[in-house]
Structure formats: C-alpha cells, structure tokens
C-alpha cells in the first residue's frame, strides 16, 4: 500500500478523442427516436433526432450571422430547453460558449461581455424579479436606436432574446433560427470538421471572494471526457432519466447533468427554470426519473417539503450530491427516504471540468456518507503541504492538487491568474484541505481560507458542522471564523432550526460540551432562516464573515492571516 498521498485513476477505457459536436452526432445516430430532453414547465419534449436537428439549426444560424470559429457566444438564461440546444449547437460551429450567471446584474454582465469579448448574446427576458432586458437597455443605450453595437462593447454584434416580441435592437429566437437556411448542411459539416478537441469550447466565470470573476476556459476534451466518465461511474444507460434542478450555467448542470446524460443516450429532464423543491418532487414522480442531482441544501429542502410523503419517488436509484460538503445525516435520508440507494458524492471545481473524485455505486455506505470518493479515471491527485509543497503521508492534512486531461486551458485573457492556479508541472491547486485515507478515499476537511486558527489551534469548520447535524433541532449549520483580539479568531455557528423548533445560544453550546474540544465549541451562535448563497446553492462564507464583523462590531483587521 503506498504511504504517500498520491493516486491516479487507472482504467481500461481510453479517453475520447472527439469534439463534443462529433460525439453528439454519434449519439444522435444511435438513439434517434429516444427521448433526449423534457422541459416540463414549457411542455417541450425532444427526441435525440429533434435535439440534433435543433443544434444543427442553431450552428447554421450563427454561421449566417458571420460568427467565426473561436468567437464567443454568450447565454444569459435560467434552465430551459433552449439552453440545451445552445450547449450542443455552439460546439458544432466551433464557437466558445460563455455561461453568464443568471444572478448577474448590470455591472457583472458588463464585465463578462467585455472580458470574454462576447460576439452574440442569447438572453432570456428575465429570471425571477430580474429584468434582463431592462439591464441590457441600461448597459447599451444604443439599443434604443435599434442596434446593440457600442464603443463600450466593441465585440458585441447581436442579441437574441428568448421571447416572442423583441425590444429594439434585438431579434427573437425564432427569427434568429429562421436564418439558418442561408447556410447549407455541407458548410456546417466543413466548419465542424475544422474544430479540434483541444480547442476551447466554454468559458465559465468563477465566483471569487475578492476581485472580479475569472473565466475558466475549458476545451471539448476537458468537458466531454469528464461528463462521460461521470456517467460511467453512475452506471448510466439509455433507460435513465435525470431530473436536473441544478443550474445549466454551472458545470454541475452543464457537465455532471447534461453531458453525463447525453454521452449515454439518457434523458435530460428540466423541472423548472430555478430550484423549487415541490417542482422537483412532482417532476420525479411524473417523469419517472431514475436519477436526481443537487447540492445538499436542495436535498434538505426536498426532504423537509411538507408534502414529501405524498410523492412517489420509487423510480429513483441514483444521482449526485455535490457542490459543497454533504452532511452525513442528509446523505443517509436521501438513500432511504428518496430511494436513491446508489446516490454518489462527487468533488471538483470549475477549473477541473469539474470532477476529480467520485464515490462508486457499490461503495459501502460508510464510504458514500463520509468521503468524496477516490480519484476519477485518467486523473491524478496528491495531498501536499501548503507551505513546502511536499507530498504528505496518507492520513495527514494538506492541500489537494489535481492533474489530468480535465485541468482547464487557463483563465481567459488572464495569464497571471492562470500561473497562480496551475504550477509548472500542470498541477491545479484547489485551495481545499484534504486527507487521503490508506484505501485512497479522500476527505475534504475545509478550505485553506476557511480554516479557523484560534490561539494556534487549527479548526476545520466541517468537523463542527457534522457534529451539530446530530442535534435533533438542527436543520442546517455553517461554521465560520470571526476576528478576535485575544485568540486571533473565534468560532461562530450560523444555525437554521427545523420548522417549529426553538433554541437558545447556550443550549447549542451545552450540546457540545464534553463532546468536542472546548476550543471548537462556538463562541458565537446566530439563528437564521437562510444563508447567503450563490445561485448554485453554495453558501458564501465570506459574506457571512463580513456580516458578522458588522453585526458583532468586530475589527476585521484583527483577523490572523
């Protein structure tokens, strides 16, 4: 047994040496009449033959507009069937799809448009209370005169709106697609044949805690292979039907869901534009879904839905829980109450396409509730001392690094940030603290930036969170470090109680006494109804810290580096 924290995924299956467009065509040819996509709220159902034709039509329409291979096409929309058509159509035209976060507002949208040089933007009219068209009109005064072209955004040429009535300066989705006939099938095939699998195909903006987001640039090879092996480990077949409440703009929706499904001829099922626990449960029942993805907060909401017991979820067998640490108690309930006996955990980051480790369907329960699995096929991982860079022995904590086909090409037009993230040996530095067990399975114990240092003691928030999930009143908990004059940092717990429960701060502290080390017991306890989150359901701990500093009148400058 190796004694160093290094592992690589050795498998018999080779990597796929095709572009996304070419592989998609192969799937369409084999599964023509198989249902590929269901948008339940929109009432749209497409077979693989229909989805393939729609993707081709979009690619030809882009070519009619004069969009060249390598140019960027942005999509700013929640989950809907047109998003999937765009995802599989843009690779055929050799263009780079830029995923614009549905929660972005004017300033962030402007940054993404300018930084990536989006040539054509496909946008929904809005999402929730956000008026996308209004924001675009504020950002581009030239629209009032009938054109999106502006000196501020010199690359932007066209805006396509997913609606029936276009505002000035924009065209509708149907009008855009109607121009596809100006380009022949032969011309599309010629364009598609010129695309290489190492070419960039996607830009995804990562949400940093400081500064503006960075555009992780991913290739056909990155995304196609990662999606394929995710589906392989989940034992996907053409008979599977995956319910997808996670957002398409993120790798969770685009890769772990759409690409894992497409590469196996399975069915993508959209329960709604955004997450709603009731819609998810109803969709699983109505569509007889066999798989369901989600972040832990989504599964918690589904399990706690007041009508949960009314839904028939017996068709489920698998799914992925990822995006943030998965509470053990929640995982157990998903396996039993939701019938997801083969549910798996996946770990990764946008910059690695995204999955680097995954549990297996036949792993013992203990491994599937307490680890993030073992290394993915064709991927290397190691745990290194953050200070020296030396690989640590198994069982010791260090930073998780990964190297493989899945590591991004780099951050778009940001070589300095790329060099900081990927070292000279092509290892991607994740910033996550992890432990590799003797059997090769990994535990994520926290973020380097999230680790709390109290009086010289290293405290991992995940450990405290897992402990409090055993409290009968606690529905969810997030632990952070806040500044302290004496100790450098103190432990603070934000707790969301189960419906109808009440508790005091002292009650929560008493629960931990004589159960965990005294320095891990929360010094501050805050009861909340919700946590600040990204649109993908990730808790924003840096926002929590900022709020705590203000509410507790702490001096942020006292925090130890």
Q: At which of 181, 196, 211 does a domain end?
A: 196
Query: What is the reported pLDDT for 561?
Result: 27
Query: What is the reported pLDDT for 211?
Result: 59
Q: At which of 196, 217, 249 does a domain end?
A: 196
Query: What is the reported pLDDT for 485?
Result: 78
CA–CA dist 289, 283 (Å, integer): 8
Residue 58 is assigned to a structural domain of this protein: yes
Distance of CA 549 to the CA centre of its chain: 29
3-state SS assignment for residue 505:
helix
Residue 17 is assigned to a structural domain of this protein: no
Residue 255 is assigned to a structural domain of this protein: no
Determine the structural domain holding residue 92 and report its residue range: 48-196
Residue 386 is assigned to a structural domain of this protein: no
- Alpha helix segments (H runs only) across 242-359: 251, 260-262, 277-287, 296-303, 328-337
Residue 21 is assigned to a structural domain of this protein: no
Residue 189 is assigned to a structural domain of this protein: yes
CA distances from 530 to 213, 447, 498, 524, 539 (A): 24, 21, 12, 17, 10
Cβ atoms of residues 5 and 383 within 8 Å: yes
Q: Give me the CATH number covering residue 128.
A: 3.40.50.980
Residue 321 is assigned to a structural domain of this protein: no
CA–CA dist 330, 368 (Å, integer): 12
Cβ atoms of residues 159 and 171 within 8 Å: yes
pLDDT tens, position by position, for the chain (561 residues)?
569 999 999 999 999 999 999 999 999 999 999 999 999 999 999 999 999 999 999 999 999 999 999 999 999 999 999 999 999 999 999 999 999 999 888 988 999 999 999 999 999 999 999 999 999 999 999 999 999 999 999 999 999 999 999 999 999 999 999 999 999 999 999 999 999 999 999 999 986 544 578 999 999 999 999 999 999 999 999 999 999 999 999 999 999 999 999 999 999 999 999 999 999 999 999 999 999 999 888 999 999 999 999 999 999 999 999 876 677 788 889 999 999 999 999 999 999 999 999 999 999 888 888 899 999 999 999 999 998 999 999 999 999 999 999 999 999 999 999 999 999 999 999 999 999 999 999 998 877 888 887 876 778 888 899 899 999 999 999 999 998 877 888 999 999 999 999 999 999 999 998 888 888 999 999 999 999 987 777 788 889 999 999 999 987 544 332
Residues 6+ apart with CB under 8 A from 179: 61, 64, 65
Residue 530 is assigned to a structural domain of this protein: yes
Residue whose token pair is 């799937």: 27
Q: At which of 178, 196, 214 does a domain end?
A: 196
Q: Give me the CATH number covering residue 514.
A: 3.30.300.30
Query: What is the reported pLDDT for 210?
Result: 46
Query: What is the reported pLDDT for 557?
Result: 42
Number of domains, the chain? 2
Query: What is the reported pLDDT for 368?
Result: 85
């Amino acid at each position: 047994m190796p004694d160093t924290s290094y592992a690589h995924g050795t498998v018999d299956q080779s990597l796929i040496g095709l572009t996304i467009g070419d592989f998609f065509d192969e799937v369409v040819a084999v599964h023509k009449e198989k249902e590929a996509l269901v948008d339940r709220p929109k009432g749209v159902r497409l077979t693989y033959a229909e989805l393939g034709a729609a993707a081709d039509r979009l690619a030809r329409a882009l070519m009619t507009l004069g969009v060249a291979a390598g140019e960027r096409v942005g999509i700013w929309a929640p989950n809907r069937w047109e998003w999937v058509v765009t995802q599989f159509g843009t690779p055929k035209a050799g263009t780079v799809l830029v995923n614009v976060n549905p929660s972005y507002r004017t300033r962030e949208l402007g940054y993404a448009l300018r930084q990536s040089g989006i040539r054509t933007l496909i946008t929904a009219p809005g999402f929730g209370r956000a008026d996308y068209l209004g924001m675009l009109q504020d950002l581009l005064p030239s629209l009032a005169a009938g054109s999106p072209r502006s000196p501020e955004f010199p690359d932007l040429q066209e805006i396509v709106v997913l609606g029936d009535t276009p505002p000035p300066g924009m065209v509708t989705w149907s009008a855009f697609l109607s121009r596809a006939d100006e380009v022949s099938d032969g011309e599309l095939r010629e364009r598609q044949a010129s695309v290489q699998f190492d070419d960039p195909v996607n830009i995804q903006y990562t949400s940093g805690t400081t500064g503006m987001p960075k555009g992780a640039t991913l290739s056909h090879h990155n995304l196609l292979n990662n999606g394929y092996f995710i589906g392989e480990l989940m034992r996907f077949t053409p008979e599977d039907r995956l319910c997808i409440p996670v957002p398409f703009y993120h790798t969770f929706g685009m890769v772990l869901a759409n690409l894992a499904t497409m590469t196996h001829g399975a069915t993508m099922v959209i329960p709604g534009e955004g997450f709603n626990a009731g819609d998810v449960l109803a969709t699983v029942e109505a569509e007889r879904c066999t798989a369901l993805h989600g972040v832990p907060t989504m599964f918690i909401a589904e399990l706690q839905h007041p009508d949960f017991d009314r839904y028939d979820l017996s068709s489920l067998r698998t799914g992925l829980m990822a995006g943030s640490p998965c509470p053990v108690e929640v995982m157990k309930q998903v396996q039993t109450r939701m019938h997801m006996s083969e549910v798996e955990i996946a770990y990764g980051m946008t910059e690695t396409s995204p999955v680097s480790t995954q549990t297996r369907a036949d792993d013992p329960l203990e491994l599937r509730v307490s680890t993030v699995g073992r290394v993915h096929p064709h991927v290397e991982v190691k745990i290194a001392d953050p200070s020296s860079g030396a690989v640590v022995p198994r069982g010791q904590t260090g930073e998780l690094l990964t190297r493989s086909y899945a590591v991004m090409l780099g951050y778009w037009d940001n070589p300095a940030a790329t060099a900081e993230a990927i070292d000279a040996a092509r290892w991607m530095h994740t910033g996550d603290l992890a432990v590799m067990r003797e059997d090769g399975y990994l535990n994520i114990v926290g973020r380097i930036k999230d680790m709390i240092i109290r009086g010289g003691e290293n405290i991992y928030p995940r450990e405290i969170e897992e402990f409090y999930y055993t409290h009968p009143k606690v529905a969810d908990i997030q632990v952070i470090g806040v500044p302290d004059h004496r100790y450098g940092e103190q432990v603070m717990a934000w707790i969301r109680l189960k419906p109808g429960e009440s508790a005091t701060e002292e009650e929560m502290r008493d629960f931990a006494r004589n159960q965990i080390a005294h320095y891990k017991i929360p010094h501050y306890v805050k009861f909340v109804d919700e946590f600040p989150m990204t649109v993908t359901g990730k808790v924003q701990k840096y926002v929590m810290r900022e709020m705590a500093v203000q509410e507790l009148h702490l001096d942020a400058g006292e925090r130890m580096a």
